[in-house]
């Protein structure tokens, strides 16, 4: 998870939320984060295939985003997340962390969330 600064300029990491396999998304936890930070929008990474087409996983992410939007009361926006994990891994590697630390999935996921939100913020800035 990530959040922007009050000016909507810079994405910052938040502690990751875990979703257990086969369980529903952590709606309540995300609602709590939204309320704590008084968010104005949700930005979700949209998994697309290499050609940029939506998949069945994309449909699930859109459904989760719409449900979160309804529960939190803010619009949901979707951003192409292709290659963000690779970019996040490279960024983490450049920090010089020990191998075990830089390969932690939650660290990579958090860095990818920051990249996804930052790309959305940057697009807003150019509009």
SS3 10: coil
Where do the domains of the chain lie, and which CATH numbers do they carry?
2-126 (3.30.420.140)
Q: pTM of the full predicted structure? A: 0.82
State how beta strands 2-4 and 11-13 pair.
Answer: antiparallel
Structure tokens at 18: 């875990």
pLDDT recorded at residue 101: 67
Asked if pLDDT for residue 57 goes beyond 70, the answer is yes
Report helix angle 27-37 to 56-72, nearest 10.
50
Q: What is the pLDDT of residues 17-26, one digit of tens each?
A: 877 777 888 8
Cα distances from 6 to residues 9, 53, 70, 90, 122, in angstroms, run: 8, 33, 23, 28, 15
């Amino acid at each position: 998870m990530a959040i922007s600064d009050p000016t909507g300029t810079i994405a910052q990491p938040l502690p990751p939320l875990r979703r257990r396999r086969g369980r529903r998304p952590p709606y309540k936890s995300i609602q709590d984060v939204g309320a704590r930070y008084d968010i104005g929008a949700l930005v979700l990474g949209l998994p697309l295939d290499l050609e940029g087409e939506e998949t069945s996983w994309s449909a699930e992410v859109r459904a989760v985003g719409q449900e979160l939007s309804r529960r939190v009361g803010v619009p949901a926006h979707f951003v192409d997340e292709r290659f963000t994990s690779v970019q996040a891994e490279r960024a983490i590697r450049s920090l010089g962390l020990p191998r075990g630390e830089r390969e932690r999935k939650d660290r990579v996921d958090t860095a990818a969330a920051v990249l996804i939100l930052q790309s959305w913020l940057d697009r807003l800035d150019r509009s």
